[in-house]
Structure 1
Amino acid sequence: MTEFGTINWTILIVYIIANLLLGLVIGKNIESDDDFYLGKKTTPWWAIGISVVATYVSAMTFLGAPAWAYKDGLSVIAIHLNYPLVIMAVIIFFFPFFYNAGVASIYEYQEKRFGKRARGTISAIWLVSQTMSSAAVLYATSVVLSFITGIPVVTAIIIVTIIALIYTVMGGITAVIWTDVIQSFILFAGAGIIFYALVTQGDFSVESSLAALKAEGKLDPLNFSFDFDTTTTVWSGILAMTLYHITVYGTNQMMVQRTLAAKNIGDAKKSYLLMGFAAFFIYLFFIALGVLFYSYYDGKTFENENTIILQFASDYGLPGLMGVIAAAVMAASMSSLDSAFNSLSTVTTIDFYKKYWAKDKPEKHYLTMTRIFTLVWALIIIIPAIGYHLHSTGSILEVLSKVGSFFVGAQLGMFALGFFSKQATENGLLVGTAAGFIVVTVTATSTDVAWPWYAAIGAGTNVIVTILASLLIDGKQEEYSEYTVVGQKRMFAKEGLPEKENGWYRIPGKVDPINYYLFAFFVTTLMFLWSIQYWV
């Protein structure tokens, strides 16, 4: 730890104290459980948007994207091509349902559409999935702190958890959003310094490196192979991972909850559109870093690939740089952990505690219990984080994606059936969800099919089995539910409700004009990547 140095420790400690103070200041305005979940709906859309970016980019991208690209080259970008399509789907179909209902837990929709058992099922699935994902984030951050400071990984896991827990408990979702804004600037500043240091190294030529990398096939961004055993193909990125990321952004309480704190549905949509336009550049930047590192280190093997970016920062030796990097990675991690703690406690309180165990209690009681559940989930997440430490050495971004792929098919299938199916019933849905899990598990353990396809396989199985089971158990349904897309359109027309609010559609299925620009941006990124092979 002494090698970390006074300057670096000062930078890191100042950053930690600043986050805690911000949580303390914001916490003074938390008066009810709704304030904890949603704030006071006064947060500007751009802050929510930056929070969304910071949460999903996280330490997974800071460490895992360069590590993954170090191994597989520029083709990793294929997995992240789909964000414009994802954001279009979410703001066109998901947001109107959630925002019009005024919910704090998005899984309330499942009860309105199907029933209590469906809501309980998807809430439980998400709690398990988010716990495993958050543990991966926590582990990645602790690897960094251990590498940089010499603190044992397990000790670092506990320290990071405590810091993120304190300001989340104090400030709720508002503290989460505003600390994310600060953390995102620190994250990208640290990454920018690393990139500048790399390309300006006296003995490292970017031009000659690109030529050598192209000869090795590391600069081929678009793999059009139809091999389902290969992870980073164009088809897995555009087809399979679009479904995966729709689940992440549309059915994940952690991601959606902050948008519910927006002033109106237009602000909620704008906050997600920021990610739709920015994600490609963010991931391309970190993936390019990994490719350049491969050239810089001549493709040598690292004991833990996630430490490549840290090794370079250490070798570069700029005073204070390791302190900035430590703060950047902690920023990336805590922007995900604070969101996870807040959303896990929200779902636990609303979907289980308030609904089944303690109805009609005062608001102060639910606020206290939400904070207690935040503490409980923080303690639970520590356990799988230690498990990752003991058993994982590959790219933590890929590990996280693999873990999530087991769960997203079930979540996506449940919402897709809710939105579009006339025939799906609660009984059939529970059968279909179980069948989807079984098929994904068999696929993962008995075949070589790449993990990006698990979401499509799970969701497809869920949809088919649910409809068949619904018809067998409950018979043919004559009318669309009010909570389907068709049902919502009919309800708006029947009751004469305004289609738009401040110029943005409130009806699911209606396309706001900016979505056409987002789609054009998607096509442009494909053309850009296709052209790389000719001008590099």
Structure 2
Amino acid sequence: MSEFGLLNWVVLSAYLAVSIGIGAAMGRKVHSSQDFFLGDRSIPWWAIGISVVSTYVSALTFLGGPAWAYTDGLSVMAIHLNYPLVIFLVVSFFLPFFYNSGVASIYEYQEKRFGATSRCVMAGVFLISQTLTTAAVLYATSLVLEFITGVPVQTCIAIVTVAALLYTMMGGLAAVIWTDVVQAGILFAGAFIIVFQLLDQLPVPLATALSELKGQGMTNAIVTDLDFSNVTTVWSGVIAMTLFHVTIYGANQMMVQRSLAAKNIGDAKKSMMMMGYGAFFIYFLFIALGVLFYFFYQGKEFENGNTIILQFAAEYGFPGLMGLIAAAVLAASMSSLDSALNSMSTVSTLDFYKRFYRRDADDRHYLVVSRLFTIFWAALIIIPALMFASSTGSILEILSKLGSYFVGAKLSMFALGFFSKNTTERGLLVGVAVGFAVLIWVANYTDVAWPWYAAIGGVVNMVVSYVASRILDGTQAEYSEYTIAGQKKLFAETGRAEREGNWFVVPGRVDRQAYGLLVFFVLSIAFLVVFNLSIS
């Protein structure tokens, strides 16, 4: 602990004090459960956008990105090429549904479209999957503290949980968003310092290092092999992981809840589009770091690959760097942890407690319940976090693999809800059950790589759901009001304007601004191809 040094402790302590201070300041503005869930709808779109970015770019990226690239090279970028496509779909189809409804929980849509049971299933799937992924984030943060201070990881897990819990419980979503803004600044400051330090410490010029790395196959990001057991091909990234990430950003309470706090539909869409344009640069930064670390350390094996970036900072950093790196990783993780706690509390309160237990209590009561649920989930996620402590593989890959088991159910429920006329709740639930069974078989008895679980689960869910619906409930007379077709018909019949300013309000209409995402997607692939070809 003494090796960490006074300056590093000051840097780390200052970050924690600022985060808790923001929570206390925001807490003075929380007077109702709606304030807790959505703020007062005065938060600027750029702050919401930064929060969206920093929530998913957690310590799993800061630590796990370089660890994964250290073994698989720049091909790991294929998994993250799809964000422009993902955000294009989210802003065109998902956001208008949720924003127009004025709800705080996106799973209220499921009840309106299918029924109360499907709402409970989707909300339950979210709570289970989010518990596991948040536990992985919590473990990643605690791993940093153990590495730096020598405090056992189990103790660190408890400390980090309490710190994130304090400001989340006090300030609600507004505190989450504004602390995310601060945390993003710290995260990228730490990352850029590491980049400059690494480039300065390379024993040869960068061009020479890249040339040697190319000879070892580490700089090719576009792997076109039709091998379904290979995780990092361009096909798994662009096809399978597009479906995976659509559910993360379009059918995930933790992400969508931020956009629901925007002033208007235009701000909601702009906040999401920040991720569509920013993700490529962020992931390229961390994955390229892993490739350069491979050259720097000559491919030597680490007992735990997730500590590579920390090892480098400890060996070659200047005074205060370890404190900044610790604060950066804490910032990255806590931006995910606070978001998860707030969204899980929202879902627990609205989709279960209020829906089935106390429908007519006053708003003050629901605010108290929301804060109690925040404490409950903070305590619960500690259990799987302790289980992750025995893992030595890339936590970014582990997290992605865990999430892929749940994608099929989310994808089918929303896709069929948006586009299908004849899918009913009974058929949908049959499809979800069969989809999970098929995925268990695929995971245990085939060599198919986990990115394809999203596509397999989604296709099986949708096909079985549609067929079962026709068998059990027959043909439906017309499209539900809560489908794309139903919404367009409703807007036409009521004479409601399809636009607010320059942005479409009706689902299924593509904003002119969104087409830039498709252009950016093509340019990002072209850049990676040219980058590899230009290395001599």
User: Fold-level match, TM-score > 0.5?
Assistant: yes
Q: Over residues 244-276 of structure 1, what are the superposed CA-to-partner deviations in whole Å (9 max), with x where a residue is unaligned?
A: 000000000001101100001100000011110
TM-score relative to the length of structure 2: 0.99
TM-score relative to the length of structure 1: 0.99
TM alignment of 1:27-426, pairs within 5 A: 27-201=27-201, 203-390=203-390, 392-426=391-425
1: CA distance, partners of 2:25 / 2:326: 25
Q: Once the 2 structures are TM-superposed, how far is the Cα of residue 533 of structure 1 from its aligned partner?
A: 2.5
- 2:431–2:460 CA contact under 8 A, matched in 1: yes
Q: Over residues 77-136 of structure 1, what are the superposed CA-to-partner deviations in whole Å (9 max), with x where a residue is unaligned?
A: 000000000000000000110001001000000000000000000000110000000000
Query: Residue 433 of structure 1 corresponds to which residue in structure 2?
Result: 432
Query: Residue 528 of structure 2 corresponds to which residue in structure 1?
Result: 529
Q: Over residues 257-306 of structure 1, what are the superposed CA-to-partner deviations in whole Å (9 max), with x where a residue is unaligned?
A: 01100001100000011110110010001000000000000000000000
1: CA distance, partners of 2:206 / 2:526: 23
Q: Once the 2 structures are TM-superposed, how far is the Cα of residue 531 of structure 1 from its aligned partner?
A: 1.3
1: CA distance, partners of 2:21 / 2:459: 47
- 1:57–1:332 CA contact under 8 A, matched in 2: yes
1:442 aligns with 2:408: no
Q: Secondary structure at the match of 1:262?
A: coil
Query: Residue 502 of structure 2 corresponds to which residue in structure 1?
Result: 503
Q: Once the 2 structures are TM-superposed, how far is the Cα of residue 516 of structure 1 from its aligned partner?
A: 1.3
- 2:83–2:276 CA contact under 8 A, matched in 1: yes
| 2:516 maps to amino acid | Y
2: CA distance, partners of 1:409 / 1:314: 42
1: CA distance, partners of 2:368 / 2:34: 12
Q: Secondary structure at the match of 1:303?
A: coil
Query: Residue 519 of structure 1 corresponds to which residue in structure 2?
Result: 518
| 2:70 maps to amino acid | Y
2: CA distance, partners of 1:299 / 1:343: 40
Q: Once the 2 structures are TM-superposed, how far is the Cα of residue 73 of structure 1 from its aligned partner?
A: 0.1
2: CA distance, partners of 1:44 / 1:208: 45
2: CA distance, partners of 1:242 / 1:317: 38
Q: Over residues 469-489 of structure 1, what are the superposed CA-to-partner deviations in whole Å (9 max), with x where a residue is unaligned?
A: 001111111211110000000
Q: Once the 2 structures are TM-superposed, how far is the Cα of residue 203 of structure 1 from its aligned partner?
A: 2.8
Q: Secondary structure at the match of 2:381?
A: helix
1: CA distance, partners of 2:154 / 2:18: 24
Q: Once the 2 structures are TM-superposed, how far is the Cα of residue 332 of structure 1 from its aligned partner?
A: 0.2
Q: Secondary structure at the match of 1:257?
A: helix
2: CA distance, partners of 1:152 / 1:496: 63
Q: Secondary structure at the match of 1:249?
A: helix
Q: Secondary structure at the match of 2:532?
A: helix
2: CA distance, partners of 1:196 / 1:325: 14
1: CA distance, partners of 2:437 / 2:136: 24
Q: Which runs of 5+ in 2 are unaligned?
A: none
Q: Over residues 367-402 of structure 1, what are the superposed CA-to-partner deviations in whole Å (9 max), with x where a residue is unaligned?
A: 000000000000000000000002x10000000000
Q: Once the 2 structures are TM-superposed, how far is the Cα of residue 207 of structure 1 from its aligned partner?
A: 2.0
| 1:429 maps to amino acid | L
- 2:202–2:296 CA contact under 8 A, matched in 1: no
Q: Once the 2 structures are TM-superposed, how far is the Cα of residue 204 of structure 1 from its aligned partner?
A: 4.3
Q: Once the 2 structures are TM-superposed, how far is the Cα of residue 2 of structure 1 from its aligned partner?
A: 1.2
| 1:488 maps to amino acid | Q
1:453 aligns with 2:452: yes
Q: Which deviates more, 508-517 or 182-191?
A: 508-517
Q: Secondary structure at the match of 1:258?
A: helix
Q: Which runs of 5+ in 1 are unaligned?
A: none
* 4+ runs deviating over 3 angstroms: none
Q: Over residues 348-373 of structure 1, what are the superposed CA-to-partner deviations in whole Å (9 max), with x where a residue is unaligned?
A: 00000001111100111000000000
Q: Secondary structure at the match of 2:84?
A: helix
| 1:451 maps to amino acid | W
2: CA distance, partners of 1:482 / 1:215: 57
1: CA distance, partners of 2:73 / 2:376: 40
2: CA distance, partners of 1:328 / 1:534: 34
- 1:204–1:296 CA contact under 8 A, matched in 2: no
- 1:16–1:163 CA contact under 8 A, matched in 2: yes
Q: Secondary structure at the match of 2:201?
A: coil
Query: Residue 8 of structure 2 corresponds to which residue in structure 1?
Result: 8
| 1:494 maps to amino acid | E
1: CA distance, partners of 2:226 / 2:394: 24
Q: Secondary structure at the match of 2:58?
A: helix
- 1:306–1:394 CA contact under 8 A, matched in 2: yes
Distance 1:95 1:202, change over 3 A: closer
- 2:138–2:337 CA contact under 8 A, matched in 1: yes
2: CA distance, partners of 1:202 / 1:455: 40
Q: Once the 2 structures are TM-superposed, how far is the Cα of residue 503 of structure 1 from its aligned partner?
A: 1.6
1: CA distance, partners of 2:262 / 2:412: 27
Q: Secondary structure at the match of 1:200?
A: helix
